[in-house]
Amino acid sequence: MNHNTPLSPRPLRHLSEVHRGVLSTAQLRAHGVSAAYLTEQCRAGGPWQQILPGVFLLHPGPPTSEERLHAVLMYADRETRAAGVPAQPGAQERAGYPQVMITGLAALNLHGFAGAPPLPQLERIDVLVPRLRRLRSTGCARVVRTPALPDPCQVTGLPVAPVPRALADAVAQLSDAATVRRLLMEAVRGGHCEAASVVRELNQARLLARPHVVDAVDSLVAEGRAIAEDRLYRMVREHGLPDPVWNVDLRLPGGPHLGGVDAYWPEQAVAVELDARAARQGLRQDEDAMWSEYARKREHLERLGITVVHVTPRKLRDSLEQQATVVRTALMASGDREPAAYVVVLPR
């Protein structure tokens, strides 16, 4: 035997179980499968079939949804490695497919979205790859390129794009306004992410110029605020804070309007304001002006002796107890401050 003598194929039954019946040319070669043997196995009516370029299904008949997902990842990752694309930071920690991940509707399905189609109904599965490689879409694989891969979520052992990125890639392929709105609303109502992160991804994908997307985002932002307000009510109730007056405008007696706040404790002169700037990012061009408005209002209130606590929807979702502690500390510290100016409190 010399180095050119083909190896006898090793038993492959165990590979069908370990790799879910999907292997690449390189993996088959590593197990002693020659090109001639592979061609013979993939003949018409044979036991194997090529599902994507360089990716083979080790059984006849249609692939399962799991096999299609692995085939798409294997195809994209194999081509990316073959092109010599350097692994991005953190790639070594990603099991299986370090430089690619499932995105779009397939990813939303894996994240548990009821509004995403079942995997068998998807003709194509979106796969996110580095932009350095112009990998072509083919078969059931649709390639989506990005200058920087996000950190993936591991779902059933597969690298899957985070919900905001998966939503943006799904929306890019959708023209039905009702479907877009349903998916965006489910993201927030289902607790998958905050409206701000979705709007940011849609803006980066340049999708906010599409009227049906803008309409859906307007509803998304309103829904996100309603959910954040509900969490704010729950924070006060569950963590034993004194009841404030809710959603009020503050004015100086006979003077100018000072601005609205979401909660206000008149005796302690403490206000809580939900920071909605991040959720609106991308929907308006005057973000600097909006920030200046927030800063100006806060500065004016604090000059009058009113403590303003800013909270974000994400903080209310992820650290409700910590936010309650911040508010409680502000209320307790009121006795150590100079009395605040008298302000008129009106319903908003």
pLDDT above 90 for 11: no
Residue 277: its pLDDT value, please?
57
Sheet with 55-57: strands ordered across: 22-24, 55-57, 49-52
**How far is CA 248 from its chain centroid?**
33
Q: Look up residue 243 and give its amino acid.
A: D
Query: pLDDT tens, 146-160?
Result: 998 999 999 988 999
* Residue 112 neighbours by CB under 8 Å, 6+ apart: 190
Residue 84: its pLDDT value, please?
47
Three-class DSSP category at 52: strand
Separation in Å, CA 290 to CA 1, 3, 222, 275:
76, 70, 17, 11
Cα gap 122→39, rounded to integer Å: 29
Higher pLDDT, 92 or 238: 238
- Per 3-state DSSP, what percentage of the chain is helix, strand, and coil (rounded to 5)? 45, 20, 35
Cα gap 98→130, rounded to integer Å: 11
Parse the chain into domains and list their residue ranges: 1-63, 64-224, 240-347
Residue 276: its pLDDT value, please?
63
Cα gap 201→197, rounded to integer Å: 6
Antiparallel, parallel or unpaired: β 307-311 and 270-274: parallel
pLDDT above 50 for 13: yes
Query: pLDDT tens, 101-125?
Result: 999 999 999 999 999 999 999 999 9
Query: pLDDT tens, 176-229?
Result: 999 999 999 999 999 899 898 999 999 999 999 899 999 899 889 888 889 999
Give the DSSP letter string of 307-325.
Answer: EEEEE-HHHHHH-HHHHHH
Cα gap 305→186, rounded to integer Å: 41
- Is residue 235 within 8 A of residue 274, CB to CB? The reply is no
Question: What average pLDDT score do residues 228-249 get?
Answer: 95
pLDDT > 90: what percent of the chain?
58
Residue 27: its pLDDT value, please?
86
**How far is CA 265 from its chain centroid?**
36
Cα gap 80→134, rounded to integer Å: 9
* Residue 208, phi then psi, degrees to nearest 5: -80, 0
Residue 62: its pLDDT value, please?
92
pLDDT above 50 for 5: no
- Is residue 42 within 8 A of residue 49, CB to CB? The reply is yes
